[in-house]
Amino acid sequence: MCNSSNGVIELRRLFTGGVAREDGKLASRESICESIRDIVEAEDNNYPLSDTQLTNKLTHSGVKIARRTVTQYRERAGISQAKLSNATAPEGARGKRSLVHLLYDFFSFMISSRR
């Protein structure tokens, strides 16, 4: 805790934290949340991306991040889960979406585990 003219501030509020990038630099939480928001805004609403797919996209852009961290940042940014977004998808797209995304997640995992 730190006393200031604005009252007491937790010290952890002064540090933004972040995630390591492939180039060795840090990406801040805010920049990662912004990236997640950009990816979600660009996605097809009928086939929303899972947290695993968001993780893969961020990894390909150079941000080393775990899926559960993406989940935390997505929730913190107020972005709904793909499962909840899928509830508004057209009737025919619901079943196909889950199969397509399961296959995508499987092959993405297989490809990334070989590196």
* Mean pLDDT across the chain: 75
Number of compact structural domains in the chain: 1
pLDDT at 63 over 80: yes
pLDDT tens for residues 37-54? Answer: 898 888 887 788 889 999
The helix or strand, by DSSP H or E, that contains position 27, with its residue range, turns out to be: strand 26-28
Residue 105 maps to a domain:
yes
Residue 104 maps to a domain:
yes
Residue 10 maps to a domain:
no
Token reading at 87: 């509830």
| CA angle, residues 99, 100, 104, in degrees to nearest 5 | 115
Residue 11 maps to a domain:
no
Residue 97 maps to a domain:
yes
Residue 66 maps to a domain:
yes
Residue 74 maps to a domain:
yes
End-to-end CA distance of the chain: give it in Å, rounded: 44
Residue 101 maps to a domain:
yes
Cα gap 60→2, rounded to integer Å: 39
By residue range, what is the domain housing residue 43? 20-113
Residue type, 111: I
- pLDDT at residue 15 in the model: 60
